[in-house]
Amino acid sequence: MSGKAILELRHVEHAFKMREGLFSHRALQAVDDVSLSLAEGDVLGVVGESGCGKTTLLRIMLGLLTPVRGDILLDGAPIADQKRRDLARKIQMIFQDPYSSLNPRRSIGSIVGQPLEIHGVGDSTERARRVRELLDVVGLPTRMLDNYPTQLSGGQRQRVAIARALALRPRIIVCDEPTSALDVSVQAQILNLLLDLRRDFGLSYVFVSHNLAVVEHIATRIAVMYLGRIVETGNAEDIFRRPGHPYTRILLKSVLTPAPRAGVPDIQLGGAAPNPMDIPSGCRFHPRCPEVLPICATQDPATFEVAGVHVACHLARATDPK
């Protein structure tokens, strides 16, 4: 880690009530006993398939959802005890879709300057100066101040969203797959911009994605999520070099490469897609795991440390130095 922990989740759980029939409901456990920390200056990549609970986890980090159990600490203080305006100055979000996250009826200057206006930062002259500076920081010309989102490309819209997130000078920015709706060439530009901003402004990121190639480019630490739980955490370099969980290894094998005649990778993932309404007994991944053991079907695995990486898997027991 690059510094002290500024955001901590401790044994966080959250469930949604899903209607089954006219009078009955059933719980969907979206996040289950998740503990994570974001250190100052780090980029925490949270990866996993769609429906694994990543977005719910982000909303909990932002204070938009209250977990049914567990604690969320920002700068050592519970998020629940901090005012919404104070939280907005510490933590901001960049959304997945730049086409729907910007108000089409507002100009670019108005969109970027709105947080400054809401929080009463400076007078109108100072706010206008700050908006021009923010556009310059994200690589947009000031002539776009009076343009509207519909006049911009996807990459330009995402730069506007980044400028808006920077307006209050937060310490943490939460990114919900911010490049998934962009062309590959534009993705690289946005990722490099985020890395430059991290260096120049001392930012920390929580970066959610299902694309490990993107996460490898930006993350310093990684948390792998499956059916609401974290199955592996550690330094990005260690996990990419020697993944400890079978699910992480499968995710890495699924990354497409530009190698000639490589084709689509055969990841050998057994079973059907996971159903969060019907969580299996024992290890949640065992119905699809190519390395399954008899114990996996009945006993939930503990978390073991293997070469500095924490892995929730029975296969890791033999290599745990403890």
Dump strand ranges (E) for the chain: 5-20, 24-39, 43-47, 69-74, 77-78, 91-94, 172-176, 204-209, 221-226, 229-235, 303-306, 309-312
Nearest of 45, 11, 22 to residue 238 by alpha carbon: 45
- Residue 262 has a pLDDT of 43
**In one letter, which amino acid is 219?**
A
| Beta strands 43-47; 77-78: pairing state | unpaired
* Per-residue pLDDT in tens (0 to 9) along the chain, 322 residues: 456 899 999 999 999 888 776 667 777 889 999 999 999 999 999 998 888 889 899 999 998 899 999 999 999 999 989 998 999 999 999 988 888 889 999 999 999 999 999 999 989 999 999 999 999 999 999 999 999 999 999 999 999 999 999 999 999 999 998 888 788 889 999 999 999 999 999 999 999 988 888 898 899 999 999 999 999 999 999 999 999 999 999 888 876 444 445 443 445 666 566 778 888 899 999 999 989 999 999 999 999 998 889 999 999 876 665 5
Which residues have CB under 8 Å from 83's CB, separation 6+?
A: none
Domain boundaries, the chain: 5-257+264-319
Q: Pick from 29, 69, 65, 45: which is nearest to 227 by CA?
A: 29
pLDDT for residue 105 = 94
What Å distances lie between residue 56 and 6, 30, 318, CA to CA? 20, 7, 33
Closest by CA to 270, choosing from 244, 250, 300, 253, is 250
Put simply, whether the predicted model's pTM sits higher than 0.95 gets the answer no
Q: Output the pLDDT for position 107.
A: 96
Instruction: Give whole-number Cα distances, 28 to 62, 194, 262, 271, 276, in Å.
Output: 21, 34, 39, 21, 6
pLDDT, residue 79, reads: 92
Please give the CATH number for the structural domain made up of 5-257+264-319: 3.40.50.300
